Amino acid sequence: MEELSKEILSQLLPAEKEFVPQKAVHPSDVDHWTPAVLLERAAYLRKMARHGDGSAGETLKEFPRHAAMLSVRHRDGQAEVHENFADLFYVLDGRATLLSGGAVVGAVEVSAGETRGVALEGSVRQELRSGDLAHVPAGVPHQMLVSSENAFTALVLKIQEKE
């Protein structure tokens, strides 16, 4: 029976490629966070942000080429550029202004492929509200501005786009 299976596979697959069976995904391997769970975690992060420097975040889970994070802001973020990683923001609560493009003022490389600065010049403004989704590709300068009366909560996916 095994020989017959190999023969069928050899006819179906190109000769230069070796067949490697994929690991089956078990339902328990799937990660799932409901809006209620995310907002409950965000309530804790809001308290931390209020008593700290105005922002707080946590990594929900790291994966081989991306990470899921929860972020709460009561203040503006720094200008930043991630050379290899895109940011995908899904707004859970609040409002913010996403600046993207332009040049980073006071740019400092804080680690390999990661640049921070005090502001952006020549950027485009995009208002973000609850339910919005924004994708910032790797290498694009960006900054999140938050008005002082609002907290901003987002699920952030850091996605490796470049090696």
Mean pLDDT of 120-136: 96
The pLDDT tens digits for 48-59 are 998 988 899 999
Answer whether residue 119 shows pLDDT above 60: yes
Report residue 2's pLDDT band, with 50, 70 and 90 as the boundaries: low
Q: Rounded to the nearest 10 degrees, how much is the dihedral formed by the CA atoms of 128, 55, 137, 81? A: 130
Tell me the backbone φ, ψ of residue 53, rounded to 5 degrees. -95, 10
Mean pLDDT of 132-155: 92
In this prediction the pTM is 0.79
Answer whether residue 114 shows pLDDT above 80: yes
Greater confidence (162 vs 120) lies with 120
Return the structure tokens found at 135: 């994708």
Report residue 7's pLDDT band, with 50, 70 and 90 as the boundaries: low
Tell me the residue type at 69.
Answer: M
Identify the architecture of domain 33-160 in CATH: Sandwich (2.60)
The pLDDT tens digits for 40-50 are 999 999 999 98
Answer whether residue 94 shows pLDDT above 90: yes
Sheet holding 152-160, edge to edge: 55-62, 66-73, 152-160, 85-93, 133-136
Rounded alpha-carbon distances, angstroms, from residue 129 to 11, 53, 97? 53, 23, 9
Q: How far apart are the two ends of the chain, measured CA to CA in Å?
A: 43
List 160's β-bridge partners, or say none: 85
Mean pLDDT of 60-68: 94
Q: How far apart are CA 129 and CA 113, in angstroms?
A: 29
Answer whether residue 137 shows pLDDT above 80: yes
Where in the chain are the domains? 33-160
